[in-house]
Amino acid sequence: MNPHWKSTASYGVLAAIIALAYGGFCIHTGRQDAALAQNETSTSVHIHKGRSLGLTLCEYSYNKDASSTTTVEGKCPDRVSTGSGGGAMQDVADLPEDFTAIMYFDPADLDSYSFTELGAKSAHEYLLAKLSIGAGVIGIALLIWGTVYSSRPEQSVGGIVVDHKGTVLNPDAINSGQTEAPHYSYMDVLPKEQPDRSEKE
């Protein structure tokens, strides 16, 4: 196995492990959201959108119970449902500075809020898990195939091998017991220098 393939294989193994780990994480969060979706409810929240240090931030408040209000400020969600247009999701970047969005949560777990229906969110996470685990499995299969292929002895086309002197050898002919025809170089066919007979005479 050549060093270049070893380096490539090590990065491939790392990428496959990351893909499998991410798939497992998506399955975990998908199960959580699926459980929360059974008691899902929704409420409307007023969101104020602003910018700070080049980032789009959103601030909104919602009632966790009858006696307390929680204010959240942080990165805006990418898409929300405003309750108009049949509940279709809209890009937050296209919405005005102040708008109303639908927030979903489980009353038994008031920290589980989401701007996407928890059932749809769970289905999306399961899809990501399938894609990620599938990519990891394919990556491992390709690495195994590449390792087996790269460990095979290298042969030239047609079984021809050239030694360090430039002599062409045919291993098939040698192994079959056939007598190899003699090889001649250009030195063998050059006319040999004849002695000058005139000097002797």
- How many Å apart are CA 67 and CA 77, to the nearest integer? 27
- Higher pLDDT, residue 38 or 158: 38
Whether 169 is covered by a domain: the verdict is no
Whether 34 is covered by a domain: the verdict is no
Identity at 127, one-letter amino acid code: L
Whether 104 is covered by a domain: the verdict is yes
pLDDT at 156 over 50: no
Mean pLDDT of 105-124: 82
Whether 5 is covered by a domain: the verdict is no
Q: Which range (11-20, 35-44, 118-127, 134-143) has the least confidence? A: 35-44
- How many Å apart are CA 45 and CA 118, to the nearest integer? 17
Identity at 82, one-letter amino acid code: T
Q: Which range (45-49, 64-68, 112-116) has the least confidence? A: 64-68
Whether 139 is covered by a domain: the verdict is no
3-state SS class at 168: strand
Q: What is the pLDDT of residue 138?
A: 92
Determine contact, residues 79/115, Cβ cutoff 8 Å.
Answer: yes
Mean pLDDT of 8-15: 83
Q: What single string gives the DSSP state of each residue in 45-68?
A: EEEEEEEETTEEEEEEEEEEETTE
Mean pLDDT of 160-168: 56
Report the candidate in 26, 40, 24, 25 with the shortest Cα–Cα distance to residue 119.
40
Q: What is the pLDDT of residue 192?
A: 57
Q: Which range marks the domain in which residue 77 is found?
A: 41-116
Q: What is the pLDDT of residue 20?
A: 92
| Pair type for strands 41-52 and 55-65 | antiparallel
Q: Give the CA radius of gyration of the chain.
A: 37
Mean pLDDT of 4-26: 85
Whether 137 is covered by a domain: the verdict is no
Mean pLDDT of 178-183: 56
55's tokens: 């980032």
Task: Decide: residue 135, CB within 10 A, 0-12 exposed, 13-18 middle, 19+ buried.
Answer: middle
- How many Å apart are CA 7 and CA 89, to the nearest integer? 44
Q: What is the pLDDT of residue 106?
A: 82
Number of domains making up the chain: 1
pLDDT band at 155 (very low <50, low <70, confident <90, very high): very low
Whether 53 is covered by a domain: the verdict is yes
Whether 84 is covered by a domain: the verdict is yes
pLDDT at 181 over 80: no
Mean per-residue pLDDT of the chain: 76
Q: What is the pLDDT of residue 133?
A: 94
Beta carbons within 10 angstroms of residue 187's beta carbon: 6
